[in-house]
Chain A
Amino acid sequence: MNKYSEAMENIKVTDEMRSRILRNVALSLESGKDEAESETETEAEIEKEAEIKTEKEAEKETVRKTGETITANESADITEFRSIKKRRSGAWITPVALTAAAALILVIVRPWSGSSLMSANKGSSSFDAAMSEDASADYHYDSETAVAETTEDDSWDEDYPVYEDAMLEAEAEAAEEETKDNSEGIEGMVFDATEFPSVREMSDAIGFEVNDISEVPFEATEVIYRVISGKLAEIVYIGDGDKLTIRKSAGEEDNSGDYNEYTLDEPIEIEGNKIDILGFEEGYYLVTWYDGEYFHSIRSDSPQTADKMKEIISDLIKGE
């Protein structure tokens, strides 16, 4: 396995990376929160992002003309788009749609000549630097070859449901081989999810009762009900830049998928359930408990007060 270490030697902290990260760390500690994204974006990256958006608009139009994809830009079709997305079981991916998805993949995956770049949007990436003429010092792979990087973000996936579905299927198939030897339960499961239009249908499918909450701590514009790998029920409330995820599964294994080492842990009891509310200085992010039969978790992308978390827990438990 010396070869593994030899391969890893290509991964190293460059001077530029070091300076940038230390600067971001200093800023974050000074302000008390992570401001890395807003502080280091350069004009060049803003221009590149605008370029990317223009390219995406052109590509959307190309896909639209195949007649098989409904884009989120078509406001009249958003409802239909969502209902189609929620009906998704793979059956509606027609051969023509898959061809469109394949064509999209070929368009998006740029050649390594570096003719275009979909850059990371956080700070001045070493790969953005690699695209410039004088990049070699910053490009840590000890190579003068410019490398284009494609990135996927969630909004892009939303605009291209066919691509997302095709990719999910491909990922699930590829990952199936990996999971054969991995019997470590929920932690080892790959992202194999089936969506449902309602919590009722999800509950029927998974075989146990799953509840909604009546109030979400932000304006939820979308709710997703899904069963992951046939064993984990998940409700995801999505708002503008925010997300709340509720999970329930049989057994006492932690299903949160959250491996943070939280510094705050407030144990409470609600209706006989011993519950942990976990977080950092700025607020609480995770709630977990085992009720003797099922493991429950609630994860918030944004920090919440302990009282807000308790409200959400009570809301959920009342529905049980």
Chain B
Amino acid sequence: MDFNTRAEHFMDAYGNAILRLAYSYVHNMEDAEDVLQDTLIRVLQADPEFESEAHEKAYLLKTAANLAKNKIEYNKRRETDELNEELVSQEKEDLSFVWEAVKKLPDTSREVIHLFYEEGYQTSQIAEILGRNESTVRSDLKRGRERLKEILKEEYDFE
């Protein structure tokens, strides 16, 4: 498969997943798109061999997570959040509350929450993607859930 065909395959199969993971870190579309683009470039340049589609996806998400964290580390996270604005404009306040609550979580809990609930990964798989210890992932998931409940209840009176 040539690079262009491979790039199209990655984009079509995993583009949304990569974009959403990136957005969960950077909170704006411009940086999320940059991360998606850079992820494709990096993976195509590295040209690894994958054992399965699951392995392929996990590798791409791992690369995207690392690139997104770099963006936050070296560029202050931007203040604009188009997703929240959009949800409010659609009068989907309940979704806006949930998104804003997730944003308040520490990065380590937020990335676990995203991969668990949005991508449906198990904690062992999340540990592999993020390069972390599984027990740490489990505690971050637990802490994330508890914190979310607190935030949603206290700040948004949300059950």
A joins B in a complex: yes
A235→B112 CA distance, assembly (Å): 32
Query: Are B37 and A6 closer than 8 Å at their CB atoms?
Result: no
Query: Are A3 and B30 closer than 8 Å at their CB atoms?
Result: no
Chain B, Cβ-Cβ closest to A29 = B3
> Given A10-B86, A26-B7, do A4 and B118 touch, yes or no (CB 8 Å)?
yes
> Given A21-B37, A188-B107, A191-B76, do A149 and B20 touch, yes or no (CB 8 Å)?
no
Q: Which B residues are CB-close (under 8 A) to A120? A: 30
Query: Are A13 and B95 closer than 8 Å at their CB atoms?
Result: no
Tell me which residues from 6 to 26 in chain A have a Cβ below 8 Å from any Cβ of chain B: 6-8, 10-13, 17-18, 21-22, 24-26
Shortest distance in angstroms between A142's beta carbon and chain B's nearest beta carbon? 8
Can you give 23 contacting A-B residue pairs, CB < 8 Å? A1-B113, A4-B117, A7-B87, A7-B92, A8-B23, A10-B86, A12-B16, A17-B33, A22-B8, A24-B37, A29-B45, A34-B38, A122-B34, A125-B29, A145-B89, A147-B85, A149-B80, A149-B82, A152-B78, A181-B143, A188-B106, A263-B46, A280-B45
Query: Are B44 and A25 closer than 8 Å at their CB atoms?
Result: yes
Chain B interface bracket (under 10, 10 to 19, 20 to 34, 35 or more) = 35 or more
Tell me which residues from 73 to 94 in chain B have a Cβ below 8 Å from any Cβ of chain A: 73-76, 78-80, 82-83, 85-87, 89-90, 92, 94
> Given A127-B30, A263-B46, do A25 and B41 touch, yes or no (CB 8 Å)?
yes
Given A149-B80, A181-B106, A187-B108, 5 additional A-B pairs, CB 8 A:
A8-B118, A17-B33, A25-B44, A150-B80, A182-B106
Q: Which B residues are CB-close (under 8 A) to A1? A: 98, 113, 117
Chain B positions within 8 Å of A, measured between CB atoms, are 3-4, 7-8, 11, 15-16, 19-20, 23-24, 28-30, 32-34, 36-38, 40-42, 44-46, 62-63, 65-67, 69-70, 73-76, 78-80, 82-83, 85-87, 89-90, 92, 94-96, 98-99, 102, 104-109, 113-114, 117-118, 143, 147
Q: Which A residues are CB-close (under 8 A) to B108? A: 182, 184, 187-188
A111-152 vs B: 1/0 string, CB under 8 Å?
010000000101001110000000000000101010101111
A238→B100 CA distance, assembly (Å): 35
> Given A12-B19, A182-B106, do A29 and B87 touch, yes or no (CB 8 Å)?
no
Tell me which residues from 171 to 187 in chain A have a Cβ below 8 Å from any Cβ of chain B: 171, 177-179, 181-182, 184, 187
Q: Which B residues are CB-close (under 8 A) to A280? A: 45
Chain B, Cβ-Cβ closest to A282 = B45
Kindly identify which residue among A7, A25, A178, A259 contacts B106, using a CB–CB cutoff of 8 Å: A178
Query: Are A143 and B37 closer than 8 Å at their CB atoms?
Result: no
Q: Which A residues are CB-close (under 8 A) to B66? A: 259-261
Q: Which A residues are CB-close (under 8 A) to B44? A: 25, 29
Query: Are B41 and A151 closer than 8 Å at their CB atoms?
Result: no
A228→B8 CA distance, assembly (Å): 42
Q: Which B residues are CB-close (under 8 A) to A29? A: 3, 7, 41, 44-45
The secondary structure that dominates the B interface is: helix
Query: Are A22 and B11 closer than 8 Å at their CB atoms?
Result: yes
Residue A292 is within 8 A (CB to CB) of chain B in the complex: no
Tell me which residues from 263 to 320 in chain A have a Cβ below 8 Å from any Cβ of chain B: 263, 280-281
Q: Which B residues are CB-close (under 8 A) to A224? A: none
Tell me which residues from 28 to 71 in chain A have a Cβ below 8 Å from any Cβ of chain B: 28-29, 34, 36
Query: Are A7 and B95 closer than 8 Å at their CB atoms?
Result: yes
Query: Are B78 and A151 closer than 8 Å at their CB atoms?
Result: yes
Q: Which A residues are CB-close (under 8 A) to B33? A: 17, 21, 125-126
Shortest distance in angstroms between A5's beta carbon and chain B's nearest beta carbon? 6
Chain B, Cβ-Cβ closest to A299 = B74
Q: Which A residues are CB-close (under 8 A) to B67? A: 259-260
Query: Are B118 and A141 closer than 8 Å at their CB atoms?
Result: no
Query: What 10 A-B pairs come out closest when comparing CB atoms?
Result: A259-B66, A182-B106, A1-B117, A13-B15, A120-B30, A7-B95, A257-B73, A141-B86, A3-B98, A259-B69
